Amino acid sequence: MTAEQPSATEPDTARRLAAVTRRLHLACERAGVLPGDVRLVAVSKFHAPPVLADALETGHRHFGESRVQEVQSKWPPLRERYPGTRLHLIGPLQTNKAAAAVGAFDVLHSVDRPRLAAALATAMERTGRRPDCFVQVNTGDEAHKSGVPVAAAGAFVKECVGTYGLPVVGLMCIPPYGRDPRPQFALLRALAAECGLRQLSMGMSADFETAVAEGATTVRVGEAVFGPRPRH
């Protein structure tokens, strides 16, 4: 079943995933980048294995989850059945779960403080696993929001790489709710350029096309792919 040949028997998830992929490719075209240059992470938090299997059956392999425990209980059989699956941690990470996260995830999008960076470095040394890391920046400088403050981002990236030896590949942000996200995305892109980082994890269901226009290399899309999240 290809994206071009929808059918009545195709699961909703497969149809929505194909639609999001088409929108993403159009956004790439408008931005003048190749479709393969922007990775779609399908955010599957709170969704059950049969729904995830519908997405995996289409060939999709990159998924975002927000909780270490949920991944440990939900994903091992799916990973075995669908080789090449890559799991992205997109939620806040407690320092005491750093080792478990290094074991369970392939990409970490929420590195945002020195104690966490140190714990990740220790876990990577012990296990030999080195998931790619994004430094999360609080681009709106909102109180109580995860992410390193804008003014501290450059120094923190240096610390992650220089002091802790983390494989930092880029920056990530979650723009303030209800505000125009575009200036936030532009700010993240400028910060990444200052840090010499190439990758930008930005853009969700409501704004991923805008994020691509501002240079996103990874978009994290949940509800547009899986529909409304179940209550948890």
Ligand X SMILES: *Cc1c(COP(=O)(O)O)cnc(C)c1O
Q: Which residues here bind ligand X, judged by CB under 6 A?
A: 43, 45, 66, 90-91, 174, 204-205, 220-224
Determine the Cα–Cα distance for residues 124 and 134; give it in Å rounded to an integer: 15
Tokens 């079943």 correspond to 1
> How far is Cα 227 from Cα 229, in angstroms, rounded to an integer?
6
Could you tell me the smallest distance in angstroms from the CB atom of residue 14 to ligand X? Answer: 17
Question: Least distance in Å: CB of 124 to ligand X?
Answer: 22
Q: Which runs of E-coded beta strand occur in the chain?
A: 39-43, 62-65, 86-89, 107-111, 132-138, 148-149, 168-172, 199-201, 218-221
Instruction: For the CB of residue 28, give the shortest distance to ligand X in the complex, in Å.
Output: 18
Q: How far is CA 213 from CA 33, 158, 186, in A?
A: 9, 27, 9
| Of residues 215 and 222, the one with the C-beta less far from ligand X | 222
Which two tokens mark 99? 């080792």
C-beta of 85 vs 205, nearer to ligand X? 205
Residue 163 CB, nearest approach to ligand X (Å): 26
CA gap 71, 130 in Å, rounded: 18
Q: Which is nearer to ligand X, 43 or 98 (CB)?
A: 43
Identify which of residues 123 and 174 has a Cβ nearer to ligand X in the complex: 174
Q: Which is nearer to ligand X, 68 or 204 (CB)?
A: 204
Least distance between ligand X and beta carbon 43 (Å) = 4
Indicate the residue whose CB is closest to ligand X.
222
